[in-house]
Amino acid sequence: MTTYDGFAERSDPPRRSYRPEFSALLPYALPLAILVLWEIGSATGLISDRALPRPSQIIATGASMTASGELFTHLGVSAARALAGLIVGGGIGFALGLANGLSRRWDEVTDTTLQMIRNIPHLALIPLVILWFGIGEGAKLFLVALGVFSLIYLNTMHGIRSVDPQLIEMGRAYGMRPAALFRKVILPGALPSIFVGLRYALGIMWLTLIVAETLSASSGLGYLAMKSREFMQLDIVVLSILLYAVLGKLADTLTRILEGRVLRWSPAHADR
Amino acid sequence: MLIDELVLDRPIAENGAEIELNGVSHGFGDLRVLSHIDLRIAPGEFVSIVGKSGCGKSTLLRLIAGLDQPRAGQIRIGGASVESRKEDLRVMFQEPRLLPWASVADNVAVGLRPGENPDEVGRALQAVQLSEKAGEWPARLSGGQKQRAALARALVNGPRLLMLDEPLGALDALTRLAMQGLIRKIHALEGFTAIPVTHDVAEAVALSDRVIVLGQGHILEDFRIVRVAETPRGSPELLRIEQEILARIMG
């Protein structure tokens, strides 16, 4: 068979290469440097231990609380609440986003209501939520679900609406029935936007949970911080705050890995 | 048989569908785009539709493909309605319209009928000389490779009618020539009826058995191009037809 000159293949451009171990550690250099400066500041008396305990003391406290299991109990409780709220609120937001993205009629019926709900700062409902649910699990679940719902809803709907109409027409012309069209064209096309929603939702999820736990709870990281404040255990207060940073980063990293896998077809996500 | 050895004046397979348009009219709002088009295309014919921008050629293609419904008139493919022939006809669009999240092979498989042998994908990719890219993402293909993948998708289920909406418009001149040759050769092998729409008169003359000139919603002229064996591109005869068609389009 003839090879056509016009089809000559282009070779891939050479990629820049860092040594992998160095490039993997680079993002953590700055947080580490801040901890070191903080420790030096405390040791030289520049930072008072009464205002802000030094890192070494916080790490020691963390180690002893890890050994006693106390830290993991609170961490586990908080993580379970966060996840449950994300699943419930995200699930509802995803379902409504699909419905309103796919059907104009659904959109006309529900979107105005959903936009009004979305514009109420969900933390403003705390007094009402405490009256309804007391300080039990229901209150935290409700608040987290409400917080993540609107982000997942908006981004799912936007993702579905912005799927290339030419691809949809191609699918129809090639005989795809609605179910196949959704599975092969619409949902994959909406995924990048859904992931954006998920990453924002994770931030709101931690924020809401910590506020709810700080106000009223008998377990969890927020509760731990509040209880320690009463006993002036500043090291535990700072430890819980640092843990939020670690947990938030962890959730974001997991989402990025998932995103990289699912969206590996996209030039924006390839080779990361 | 090597496809390069084929004489191209007649398809070797007889697989094409006959197309019949009777009094087909269409428009958008008050704008009349096509009025009373009567057209008969024989099975296996390669018929280009040419005309200025806005002459209604793409609209005509969309009607035959069943993407839009005509306001009046009737379109029959192989003696049956367009809707009942959907699986027999395939469209190649101006843009490749590949699913970016599916591999090249999975994109080609979109053209299969449910339950059809997936081995056909490999064969179709081989026919467009893209086998080595089967596992690639579309984003990593060049413009010409994308259109070849789209061609493989259109051909994978052995359609009886292939419609092409200026599929080579965005390609560079060399890739374009190579694609023209490829399409004509696959047509010779498969014997489907082919209806490309183009504004490139030279391309239409080089590829087609017939060139239909569309203007103001009517068929202005219907040129039949008779080739003796393989009349080379740029022969005086073809150039004369080209001039004639251009003169007709420009009025």
Note the pLDDT tens digit of each residue in B202-248. Answer: 889 888 999 999 998 899 999 998 766 566 677 888 888 888 888 88
Identity of the amino acid at A233: Q
Q: Percent helix, strand, coil in chain A (nearest 5)? A: 80, 0, 20
Regarding predicted confidence, which is higher, A247 or A93?
A: A93
- A2 has a pLDDT exceeding 60: no
Question: Do residues B10 and B17 make contact, with C-beta atoms less than 8 angstroms apart?
Answer: no
In a domain, A90, yes or no: yes
Q: Which of A33, A36, A74, A78 is nearest to A56 (CA)?
A: A36
Contacts of A6 in chain B (CB under 8 A): 144, 172, 174-179
- B2 has a pLDDT exceeding 60: no
Q: Do A265 and B102 touch (CB under 8 A)?
A: yes
Q: Do B110 and A166 touch (CB under 8 A)?
A: no
Task: Supply the pLDDT for residue A17.
Answer: 52
Identity of the amino acid at A22: F
Q: Which of A103, A119, A87 is nearest to A198 (CA)?
A: A87
Q: Do B145 and A170 touch (CB under 8 A)?
A: no
Task: Supply the pLDDT for residue A15.
Answer: 52
Task: Supply the pLDDT for residue A8.
Answer: 41
Q: Do A6 and B100 touch (CB under 8 A)?
A: no
Average pLDDT over residues B175-192: 88
Regarding predicted confidence, which is higher, B97 or B86?
A: B97
Q: Which of A59, A215, A211 is nearest to A121 (CA)?
A: A211
CA distance A72 to chain B (A): 40
In a domain, A4, yes or no: no
| Token code pair at residue A93 | 């937001």
Q: Which of B195, B174, B198 is nearest to B41 (CA)?
A: B195
Contacts of A171 in chain B (CB under 8 A): 110
| Token code pair at residue B62 | 């969309």
In a domain, A141, yes or no: yes
In a domain, B92, yes or no: yes
Regarding predicted confidence, which is higher, B163 or A11?
A: B163
Total number of domains in chain B:
1
Q: Do B97 and A184 touch (CB under 8 A)?
A: no
In a domain, B85, yes or no: yes
Average pLDDT over residues B109-117: 88
Which residues make Cβ contacts (< 8 Å) with residue B202, sequence separation at least 6? Answer: B242
**In CATH, what number is assigned to the domain containing residue A217?**
1.10.3720.10
Task: Supply the pLDDT for residue B11.
Answer: 53
**How far is Cα A111 from Cα A93, in angstroms, rounded to an integer?**
12
Q: Which residue of A has its CA nearest to B92?
A: A170
Domain containing B38: what range?
10-97+160-250
Task: Supply the pLDDT for residue A91.
Answer: 97
Q: Which residue of B has its CA nearest to A180?
A: B110
| Token code pair at residue A179 | 């179910």
Residue B4's pLDDT band (cuts 50, 70, 90): very low
Q: Do A170 and B93 touch (CB under 8 A)?
A: yes
- Condensed to tens digits (0 to 9), the pLDDT of residues A115-157 reads 898 888 888 888 898 899 887 888 899 999 999 999 999 999 9
Residue B250, helix vs strand vs coil: helix
Residue A111's pLDDT band (cuts 50, 70, 90): confident
Residue A16's pLDDT band (cuts 50, 70, 90): low
Question: Do residues A168 and A190 make contact, with C-beta atoms less than 8 angstroms apart?
Answer: no
Residue B100 is nearest to which of A169, A173, A265, comparing CB atoms? A265
Q: Which residue of B has its CA nearest to A6?
A: B175
Tell me the average pLDDT of chain B: 87
Task: Supply the pLDDT for residue B8.
Answer: 45
Residue A183's pLDDT band (cuts 50, 70, 90): very high
In a domain, B120, yes or no: no
CA distance A184 to chain B (A): 8
**How far is Cα A190 from Cα A208, in angstroms, rounded to an integer?**
27
Average pLDDT over residues B72-99: 91
B68 CB near a chain A CB, below 8 Å? Answer: no
CA distance A260 to chain B (A): 12
CA distance A122 to chain B (A): 36
Q: Do B153 and A174 touch (CB under 8 A)?
A: yes
| Token code pair at residue B237 | 């005869």
CA distance A176 to chain B (A): 8
**In CATH, what number is assigned to the domain containing residue B185?**
3.40.50.300
In a domain, A3, yes or no: no
Judged by average pLDDT, the poorest of A7-16, B80-89, B208-217 is: A7-16
Question: Do residues B70 and B25 make contact, with C-beta atoms less than 8 angstroms apart?
Answer: yes
pTM as predicted: 0.81
- A33 has a pLDDT exceeding 80: yes
Domain containing A147: what range?
71-262
- Condensed to tens digits (0 to 9), the pLDDT of residues A209-225 reads 888 888 777 888 888 98
Question: Do residues A90 and A148 make contact, with C-beta atoms less than 8 angstroms apart?
Answer: yes
- Is residue A245 packed enough to be buried (19+ CB in 10 Å), middle (13-18) or exposed (0-12)? exposed
| Token code pair at residue A182 | 């959704």
Residue B100 is nearest to which of A9, A171, A266, comparing CB atoms? A266
Average pLDDT over residues A20-35: 84
Alpha carbon B11 to its chain's center? 15
Total number of domains in chain A:
1
- B131 has a pLDDT exceeding 90: yes
- B12 has a pLDDT exceeding 60: no
In a domain, B169, yes or no: yes
Average pLDDT over residues B132-143: 93
Q: Do B110 and A174 touch (CB under 8 A)?
A: yes
Alpha carbon B115 to its chain's center? 26
Contacts of B182 in chain A (CB under 8 A): 4
Question: Do residues A135 and A212 make contact, with C-beta atoms less than 8 angstroms apart?
Answer: no
Contacts of B111 in chain A (CB under 8 A): 174
Task: Supply the pLDDT for residue B87.
Answer: 84
Q: Which helix (H) or strand (E) holds A104?
A: helix A104-119
Question: Do residues A125 and A143 make contact, with C-beta atoms less than 8 angstroms apart?
Answer: yes
- Condensed to tens digits (0 to 9), the pLDDT of residues A52-102 reads 999 999 999 999 999 999 998 999 999 999 999 999 999 999 999 999 999
| Token code pair at residue B82 | 């367009």
Which residues make Cβ contacts (< 8 Å) with residue B232, sequence separation at least 6? Answer: none
Crossing angle of helices A187-215 and A70-102, rounded to 10° = 140
- A18 has a pLDDT exceeding 60: no
- A166 has a pLDDT exceeding 50: yes
Residue B50, helix vs strand vs coil: strand
- B170 has a pLDDT exceeding 50: yes
- A173 has a pLDDT exceeding 50: yes
Share of chain A above pLDDT 90, in %: 47
Do the strands B72-77 and B210-215 form a parallel or antiparallel pair, or are they unpaired?
A: unpaired
In a domain, B153, yes or no: no
Regarding predicted confidence, which is higher, B231 or A248?
A: A248
Enter the DSSP assignment of A209.
H
Average pLDDT over residues A203-210: 90
Long-range CB pairs of A216-225 (<8 Å, 24+ gap) are A216/A130, A216/A135, A216/A139, A217/A135, A217/A140, A218/A135, A219/A73, A219/A74, A219/A77, A220/A74, A220/A77, A220/A78, A220/A81, A220/A140, A221/A74, A221/A75, A221/A78, A222/A78, A223/A74, A224/A74
In a domain, A271, yes or no: no
In a domain, B116, yes or no: no
